[in-house]
Structure 1
Amino acid sequence: MHSIPRPRFEDVEHYAKLFTNADYWTPYVHMVCEHHQLVPCSDIKAGFPGTNPVFIVDGRYAVKLYTDWFNGYASYPTELDSYRLIAMNPQLPAPALIAHGSLYPEGTEWHWPYIVTTVIPGASLGEAGELVSYDDRRELAGFLAQVLRQVHALPVESSAVMRRSWDSFAAFLQERRLHCLDNHRRWKALPDHLIDQIEEYLIPLSELMDDEGGPYILHCDLNRDHVLGAWEGVRWTPAGIIDFGDARAGDRLYEFVALHLGLFRYDKRLLGRFLTQYGVEEHWKDNSRLVRRLMNYTLLHEFNVLDQLCEAHPSVREAASLPELAAWIWDLGTPSPSPSSDDGVVA
């Protein structure tokens, strides 16, 4: 199978210039399709830009190759394992695994593992943008509540990678905590006076994690780019979710961070609808401990989920403390910060 020299990049910048270049990757996609007899493999288009090269073949298959630049050694087995679990619930609106393997044998050089899945047709919410009406966003919130209930119900005991133990999630959070302050100083998403409060605001992991039941299978990065939908006239209807490369077993509250900040864009009406449909809204009312836990997960999140906060809501710079910011973001009874423009975000 490995008749073509393996992909090589001088540095991350070189990789960034080429990872969505269909002409560059076409020979490798052909290798995959020919090996698994997925022919004719004549129309190859780049998927939505993410971390790894993804290409749509003949409108039927998605070929995803895993780079070693961004944790590919972990995201490949995680995503492969996730799709095997998803196959246990045919009702879950997610791609189906068709094939997997590596372009080259494992050895001293990166072997370029890959997976092939079915394609969910349509555009991501990020691509559709502000053409999606607020009513459709409300419908999406209800849709995602049902989808995530199914994801969280996947049998973690059947996983080959994620264990039915809180030890792994605790180790992950401990690692995030060790680098939390440095990360936020580097990201500069929050004002300096709020970053200076982080160490004191973080609570012990024993108080942060809800280890009654679970842990649950989590998507962990359900943002606007990972929800696909189709246009039906002027309406955008959600069709499914993609990209399980960051999945892990853990606390469901961690799941809600990317969802609320990256997909709902801090809109508490959408969050409230989601929680009602998910079945947990009653636990959020007048619950200061829950708000603090959610803000802790926000600060400890693997990704810079606060990157657009001050741009979209300049008034948050006026927050005197992290508890005040936490209430703005997570307390359903506290008004949200005013947005800088009408981006579907409701104050």
Structure 2
Amino acid sequence: MPYLLPTIESWSDWSATFNDVDLWRPVIDAICDSEGIRYRSIQIPRSNTNAVFILDSQLVVKIYSPFWSEFDMEATLIEVLGANRTIPVPEIVAAGRYHDRVSWNYLIMEYLDGLTLDAVRPDSARRDLLRIATEVGRMTRSLHETPINPLGGVDTGESWDDMVDRRRRETLPELAGSGIITPQVSDALNVILEEVVANSNRSPRVVVHGDLESDHILLGRKDREWKITSVIDFGDAKIGVRDYEWMPLWLGLFDRDIEAMRVFLEAYDRSLLTDEELPRRVMAWTLLHDFGSDAITELIEKTNTPTPVVTLGELRQILWPGLEELFDVCGEARFYLRSDLLPRDLPE
């Protein structure tokens, strides 16, 4: 039988093909035929890195990239969350593998309509936006309280410790190599990363979504208020430390809105607002996040910030402006970079 797909051997091959409806339609037809599904129309969502297609605004077919292991974690976690009924997630209609040159894992899920925070923000009152931040805080707390035992044997392709070690090696060379930070700033950040990673070994492990940005939290109106109608795309979920969750929320969903972040933390765990080490961990896990270097680079470009950034204080104001205010509200903790841990000649 002739193959339906071309040879896909690299990220370049994948990025050129995964959104091509005409290319994937025969595969979708074959999968749907095997699952007894009929459809008329196909759309692609606004944001994805897998081959994702919306059928008749009723179903979502997600065919996973062969270059990373997301299928097992996402399928298992959605089943666990759906059974717990603590977080609104799409129902899985079918799951399987389709063979065409290689085996392609796929999920078919119900399509849940909703608006993103980016879509509703321009026309929403400030109080509505803060209510959404509160909703997200409660939802994230529920996610992090999810028992991890059912996920213990799930194949994620890379262990948490291996991911942290890899990002520990990659992140500062990436930023320094692209001219975003100076070697002096890199040296100072290296000290912070070393300390935070060492301390994280004593932190409890929780389920983290890994990419709680605007496209992955869908909203709808209920009783004249915005409510979370669905949380989607658990492909980047991990069993790790909860601080890994903050970067997409801070730089993505809340777009560095300090008041929204404060309200989120109040709903999630108010004790974090008096945790004087939190800003250092936020800084470190922004860098250690799998998408951290890309997010920082994108922000630097969006804000037309001159590079290289030559001090930690300047970098802090670009990436984490207003964190002092976050703690001033409670009148206790303050953002600080401990001078005893900085290279002697580096200005703060």
| Interval containing the TM-score (normalised by the shorter chain) | 0.7 to 0.9
Matched, 1:123 2:127: no
Equivalent residues, number? 321
Q: Contact 2:82–2:91 (CA<8 Å) still a contact in 1?
A: yes
What per-residue deviation string (whole Å, max 9, x for no partner) do you get for residues 273-304 of structure 1?
001111x233323x442211221111111112
Q: C-alpha distance in 2, partners of 1:268/1:210? A: 28
Of the three residues 301, 314, 336, the one matched with 2:289 is 301
Q: C-alpha distance in 2, partners of 1:90/1:253? A: 24
What per-residue deviation string (whole Å, max 9, x for no partner) do you get for residues 14-47 of structure 1?
5434322323222211222221112x21122112
- Alpha carbons of 1:170 and 1:13: their partners in 2 closer, same or farther (altered >3 Å)? closer
Report the equivalent of 2:132: 140
Matched, 1:112 2:104: yes
- Note the C-alpha offset of 1:320: 2.6
What SS does the aligned partner of 2:169 have? helix
Report the equivalent of 1:333: 327
Matched, 1:85 2:80: yes
Unaligned ranges ≥5, structure 2: 330-348
Task: Name the TM-score, length of structure 2 as normaliser.
Answer: 0.79
- Alpha carbons of 1:89 and 1:178: their partners in 2 closer, same or farther (altered >3 Å)? same
Q: Contact 2:73–2:235 (CA<8 Å) still a contact in 1?
A: yes
Task: Name the TM-score, length of structure 1 as normaliser.
Answer: 0.80
- Note the C-alpha offset of 1:157: 0.6
Identity %: 24
What per-residue deviation string (whole Å, max 9, x for no partner) do you get for residues 292-344 of structure 1?
12211111111123234335556797773159717636441379xxxxxxxxx
Letter in 2 for 1:81: T
**More deviation in 220-229 or 125-134?**
125-134
- Alpha carbons of 1:134 and 1:161: their partners in 2 closer, same or farther (altered >3 Å)? farther
Report the equivalent of 2:211: 221
Root-mean-square deviation (CA, aligned residues, Å) is: 3.3
Report the equivalent of 1:274: 264
Of the three residues 204, 212, 230, the one matched with 2:195 is 204
What SS does the aligned partner of 1:229 have? strand
Q: C-alpha distance in 2, partners of 1:110/1:187? A: 36
- Note the C-alpha offset of 1:252: 0.8
1:166-245 matches, cutoff 5 A: 168-186=159-177, 190=181, 194-204=185-195, 207-209=198-200, 211-212=202-203, 214-230=204-220, 237-245=227-235
Q: C-alpha distance in 1, partners of 2:45/2:315? A: 40
Q: C-alpha distance in 2, partners of 1:95/1:234? A: 23
- Note the C-alpha offset of 1:133: 4.6
What SS does the aligned partner of 2:43 have? strand
Report the equivalent of 1:338: none
Report the equivalent of 1:24: 23
- Note the C-alpha offset of 1:68: 1.9
